[in-house]
Amino acid sequence: MKKGYRILVVGGLAAGPSAATKAKRINPDAEVILFEKSDYISYGICEIPYYLTGEYRDKNNLVVYSPKRLAKEKGVTVRIKSKAEEIQTAKKSVTVRDMKSGRTRTERYDRLIIATGSRPKMLPFEGSDCKNFFTIKSLQSAYRLRDYLSRHNPRNAVVIGGGYIGLEMTETLRKIGCTVTLIHRHKYPFTGLDKNAGEKIVQELETNDIYFVPHTEVTGFETRGKEFITAVATSSRSFPADIVICAIGVTPSTEFAATAEIQTGPFNGIITDEKQRTNLENVYAAGDCCELRNIVSGKSALFPLATVASKTGRVAGENAAGGDALFNGTVKNVAVRLFELEISRIGLTMAEAKETGFKPIKETITAYSRVAGMPDSARLTVTLVADKANGRLLGGSLVGPDGAAHRGNILAALLRLGRTISDLSDLDLMYAPPFSPLWDPLLIAANQSGKKIRGRHD
Amino acid sequence: MKKGYRILVVGGLAAGPSAATKAKRINPDAEVILFEKSDYISYGICEIPYYLTGEYRDKNNLVVYSPKRLAKEKGVTVRIKSKAEEIQTAKKSVTVRDMKSGRTRTERYDRLIIATGSRPKMLPFEGSDCKNFFTIKSLQSAYRLRDYLSRHNPRNAVVIGGGYIGLEMTETLRKIGCTVTLIHRHKYPFTGLDKNAGEKIVQELETNDIYFVPHTEVTGFETRGKEFITAVATSSRSFPADIVICAIGVTPSTEFAATAEIQTGPFNGIITDEKQRTNLENVYAAGDCCELRNIVSGKSALFPLATVASKTGRVAGENAAGGDALFNGTVKNVAVRLFELEISRIGLTMAEAKETGFKPIKETITAYSRVAGMPDSARLTVTLVADKANGRLLGGSLVGPDGAAHRGNILAALLRLGRTISDLSDLDLMYAPPFSPLWDPLLIAANQSGKKIRGRHD
């Protein structure tokens, strides 16, 4: 590749820095420039809940790479406060606005990588710009939240949305002393779990004095002087609130991509091929702004996860720099801690499996996480979803105080490789009393599922 | 199958009860009789170290199924104190000696399952029958050891052999207050580990005031009145001993099988096919007394593990009862806790890989088990062994205070499925600060190994 080759990367959170770093490593002669509209790049979104409780101690305030460090150690030119606004495909250039001066300039590219990420979904009510309303999606909001908590010492917290971020923030707010109400649309948090698993989570919330409000939609906010929310109105009743966390999901940020004719999919994410190429020549995309292939269903979906952002970023960066890397999709694998409980969900839920066109069966068992009688051994609820037609594993969940998250990884491995319940039964899982019983809960679940698939009851 | 069909099972520890139970379930009309020469069946050998410290609390004194309970709940006839001594293949019968009366009787079989297990290897020195010499292989010896410890309150303990049982007993004896010397033939305990992992284990022993004596062979025992060992003599020096634990491995118990022309292999274990059939018609074998296929090397080996015994027992039982089950081999997956350390070894070591004929590479990395800065996050040393020719994963080990054992299971899954380092790199492992960093140590190890395989240094 010739000198003066320019690779522009738009977006500095997870996929962007991965892409830029990889591109520079693959092609050290290229000029790699990363544009980020905010003040920060490369930080730990997922650590925010633990940063707020003080459990996570970090001298760098969540920042993994400062712009300076990324430049120095990785050779990437970083431009913060620089908002990429428009693509000119014919000229192979991008218009970038300097957020301080307000001026724009045009930047030529040989290759462009779009890593504009996602943004929190919002509720269409007045009050969402109040000083005590927060989403958990950027370092700015984390800092603002930390300041608000220390200055106002709020008592009543309302968390909207019982997904994993909602659950994490519920734990965080409770741990710092708030009275927490968690409002959720469905019956159980972490939608898609089996009844037994769902009940266990609700139990854990109750044990920790969380007021869990299921089957409920938010209908508006009551405010004081339009500056502070004072209550959250819902389909059932109104909940007083000194602070509100909204965690109802994210949506891809594709305004920048939309300035060119970049193809998006049914979930509004950018469509790419296995090399993370968009439909436009020389334009790549990575991270939360993309739709990606769900390996289990074979269909497009959103995977707003840091791991996926990093991986697709690497692939986009390598290919943009002239390399040849593939990203062939992902298996959803989400783990969350809720007080003393580990919750893990992998692959497709029963509903997703049906929707995809499988004829799924579901089996739930509860077994001890270690040899019963050993300290820390605890009951683990395992659900497996499999295709009745051929026994193929489609998904699963694990909920319990011990050993749920790491066991989920084993299911993720089998799901990526397209393997069956019978393959799971055959695994040579370790047995040592301090770690696992003779028959690991996963093996028990697999054996029971196998009987259901074969229609046998021995 | 006709009524009066008789399935005899010889051996009552792990494989035997599994086989008998499964056989009865598959063919409820069959008469299934289990013979065990000692007083006990179906007990938890692996729990012995934790039973001795009191960490494992068990009202049944390690017994999983009493003879009575196995009979009542599973319909298996159990004869304890009954030593099967000889097979008459022509007559399809077995001679069984009643250990109380000394009398023998002949039992006819339609199918015979040999599950005679293994016995501890012994040192060829006088003193091995002393009252303070112990092996960890039977419930009798566990009870005798427990009594000895409480009665004599020994001060100086010498453990011979640094395999997983030796390490577990080292921890146990230290925890109950002994001064412990651990004598091992090789440089590091748990032979076959990488240098970094080995050093970590030695460090953990030292931290816990264990006197670890590497590169040393036992040459004899000094005794007092032939009743008590007083010191263990070695190739370097002599170590005073109030109690001696010998844990230098096990050897298949095949005396019973040898009374007929049952084929054994290079490790003195019974050879079976995938249905756990021996070379003799209607005779099956399962558990420690068998040689089994190492799935990674494709070769025969001994796997004296409770998990393997249970699985082969089930297969032998199902097939003996007219079913059709397969056991196609195993992946070695051993995990042990040593004080604050988790040690896990899976598949082939570097030496075993070479011996098998692979051209292996080895890569060791150290990375945090959870997000660095989170409580309980600790440095984990991961070694992967892979075939340079095609990237196939051959084995690995994990050593660290947190998250080693469960991560080992992921390697065991890939090894069983014959997958590569690249497959490991692709896995969708969960990322949540309380459980795992963004890049799981396994992924970091896989990425580094991949570079070594490709000869790249990016």
Q: CA dihedral defined by A420, A422, A424, A428, rounded to 10 degrees?
A: -140
B337 reaches A (C-beta below 8 A): yes
Residue A441 pLDDT? 98
User: What are A341's strand-pairing partners?
Assistant: A338
pLDDT, tens digit (0-9, with 9 covering 90-100), for B251-261: 999 999 999 99
In a mutational test of the A interface, the residue from B409, B411, B443 whose CB has the highest number of chain A CBs within 10 Å is B409
Nearest CA among B400, B339, B349 for reference residue B199: B400
Cα-flanking dihedrals φ and ψ of residue B381, to 5°?
Answer: -95, 120
In a mutational test of the B interface, the residue from A57, A274, A374, A409 whose CB has the highest number of chain B CBs within 10 Å is A409
Nearest CA among A142, A172, A145 for reference residue A338: A172
Residue A455 pLDDT? 84
Q: Are A215 and A186 in contact (CB under 8 A)?
A: yes
Among all residues of chain B, which has the CA nearest to that of A456?
A: B26
Q: Which residues of B touch A410 (CB under 8 A)?
A: 409-410, 413
> Is B458's pLDDT higher than 60?
no
Determine, for residues A47 and B430 on separate chains, whether the beta-carbon distance falls below 8 Å. Answer: no
* pLDDT range class, residue A348, cuts 50, 70, 90: very high
DSSP run (H or E) holding A196? helix A195-207
In a mutational test of the B interface, the residue from A64, A333, A430, A451 whose CB has the highest number of chain B CBs within 10 Å is A430
Among the listed ranges A94-108, A444-458, B93-107, B416-430, which one has the minimum average pLDDT value? A444-458
Q: Buried b / exposed e across A297-311, counting CB within 10 Å, b at 16+?
A: bebbbbbbbbbbbbb
Residue A3 pLDDT? 63
B245 to chain A, minimum CA–CA distance in Å?
20
Residue type, position A227, single letter: E
Determine, for residues A417 and B417 on separate chains, whether the beta-carbon distance falls below 8 Å. Answer: yes
Percent of chain A with pLDDT over 70: 99
Residue A385 pLDDT? 98
Q: What is the DSSP string of B217-266?
A: -EEEEEEETTTEEEEEEESS-EEE-SEEEE-S-EEE--HHHHTTT--B-T
Q: What is the ipTM of this complex?
A: 0.96
Q: Are A137 and A38 in contact (CB under 8 A)?
A: no
Q: Contacts by B452-457 with C-beta closer than 8 Å and gap 24+? A: B452/B361, B452/B363, B452/B388, B453/B361, B453/B386, B453/B388, B453/B391, B453/B421
Residues 6+ away with beta carbon under 8 Å from B311: B18, B327, B330
| Count of H-run helices and E-run strands, chain A | 12, 26
Residue B192 pLDDT? 85
Residue B418 pLDDT? 98
Q: Which residues of A touch B398 (CB under 8 A)?
A: none
CA dist A427 and A450 (Å) reads 14
Residue A58 pLDDT? 86
Residue type, position B156, single letter: N
Q: Which two tokens stand for residue A107?
A: 């930047």
Residues 339-358 of A with CB under 8 A from B: 342, 344
Residues 380-419 of A with CB under 8 A from B: 403, 405-410, 412-417, 419
The rounded Cα A373 to chain-centroid distance in angstroms is 36
Cα-flanking dihedrals φ and ψ of residue A349, to 5°?
Answer: -80, 170
Nearest-CB residue to A430 (from B55, B409, B419): B409
B435 to chain A, minimum CA–CA distance in Å?
7
Nearest CA among B426, B374, B429, B367 for reference residue A46: B374
CA dist B97 and B116 (Å) reads 15
> Is A2's pLDDT higher than 60?
no
Percent of chain B with pLDDT over 90: 95
Nearest CA among A112, A107, A48, A428 for reference residue A283: A112
CB pairs under 8 A between A and B: 174
A437 reaches B (C-beta below 8 A): no
CA dist A370 and A376 (Å) reads 8
Nearest-CB residue to A406 (from B46, B406, B415): B406
Among all residues of chain B, which has the CA nearest to that of A411?
A: B410
Q: What is the DSSP string of A237-283?
A: -EEE-SEEEE-S-EEE--HHHHTTT--B-TTSPEE--TT-B-SSTTE
The predicted model gives B199-212 an average pLDDT of 98
Residues 28-57 of B with CB under 8 A from A: 44, 46-47, 50, 55-57
Residue A4 pLDDT? 83
Determine, for residues A336 and B432 on separate chains, whether the beta-carbon distance falls below 8 Å. Answer: yes
Q: Please report, for residues A372, A387, B166, B366, B447, the alpha-carbon distance to residue B189 in angstroms, rounded to integers and kept in the order given.
A: 28, 45, 9, 19, 28
Residue type, position A217, single letter: E
B439 reaches A (C-beta below 8 A): yes
Percent of chain A with pLDDT over 90: 95
- 0.80 surpassed by pTM: yes
Helices B306-320 and B15-26 meet at what angle, rounded to 10? Answer: 30
The predicted model gives B424-439 an average pLDDT of 97
Mean pLDDT of chain B: 96
* Termini Cα distance of chain A: 65
CA dist B448 and A149 (Å) reads 42
Determine, for residues A410 and B413 on separate chains, whether the beta-carbon distance falls below 8 Å. Answer: yes
CA dist B216 and A209 (Å) reads 59
Determine, for residues A436 and B335 on separate chains, whether the beta-carbon distance falls below 8 Å. Answer: yes
Q: Which residues of B touch A307 (CB under 8 A)?
A: 428-431, 438
pLDDT, tens digit (0-9, with 9 covering 90-100), for A108-138: 999 999 999 999 999 999 999 999 999 999 9
Give the side-chain half-sphere CA count within 13 A for B178: 29
* pLDDT range class, residue A456, cuts 50, 70, 90: low
Q: Which two tokens stand for residue B127?
A: 């003193």
Q: Which two tokens stand for residue B405?
A: 């054992």
- The total number of residues shown for chain B amounts to 458
Among all residues of chain B, which has the CA nearest to that of A344?
A: B430
Determine, for residues B438 and A335 on separate chains, whether the beta-carbon distance falls below 8 Å. Answer: no
Q: What is the radius of gyration, based on Cα positions, of chain A?
A: 23
pLDDT, tens digit (0-9, with 9 covering 90-100), for B298-353: 999 999 999 999 999 999 999 999 999 999 999 999 999 999 999 999 999 999 99
CA dist A330 and B292 (Å) reads 36
Where do we find the tokens 């579901």?
Answer: A362
A451 to chain B, minimum CA–CA distance in Å?
13
Residue B4 pLDDT? 83
- The total number of residues shown for chain A amounts to 458
Residue B347 pLDDT? 98
Among all residues of chain A, which has the CA nearest to that of B295?
A: A428
* pLDDT range class, residue B455, cuts 50, 70, 90: confident
Maximum CA extent, chain A: 74
Residue A171 pLDDT? 98
Q: Which residues of B touch A429 (CB under 8 A)?
A: 307, 333, 409, 412
**Which is it for strands B238-240 and B228-234: parallel, antiparallel or unpaired?**
antiparallel
B306 reaches A (C-beta below 8 A): yes
A1 reaches B (C-beta below 8 A): no
Determine, for residues B429 and A438 on separate chains, whether the beta-carbon distance falls below 8 Å. Answer: no
Q: Which residues of B touch A412 (CB under 8 A)?
A: 427-430
Residues 134-153 of B with CB under 8 A from A: none
Among all residues of chain A, which has the CA nearest to that of B418?
A: A417
> Is A210's pLDDT higher than 80?
yes
A311 to chain B, minimum CA–CA distance in Å?
9
Residue B59 pLDDT? 85
The predicted model gives A53-72 an average pLDDT of 92
> Is B387's pLDDT higher than 80?
yes
Q: Break chain A down into helix, strand, coil percent, rounded to 5.
A: 30, 30, 40
Q: Where are the alpha helices (DSSP H) in B1-138?
A: 15-26, 48-53, 67-74
Among all residues of chain B, which has the CA nearest to that of A412?
A: B428
> Using the 8-state DSSP alphabet, how is residue A62 labeled?
T
Mean pLDDT of chain A: 96
Residue B2 pLDDT? 57
3-state secondary structure (DSSP) of residue B289? helix
Nearest CA among B6, B7, B99, B21 for reference residue B64: B21
* pLDDT range class, residue A192, cuts 50, 70, 90: confident
Nearest-CB residue to B432 (from A337, A434, A439): A337
Nearest-CB residue to A414 (from B50, B331, B413): B413
> Is A322's pLDDT higher than 70?
yes
Q: Which two tokens stand for residue A293?
A: 């292939």
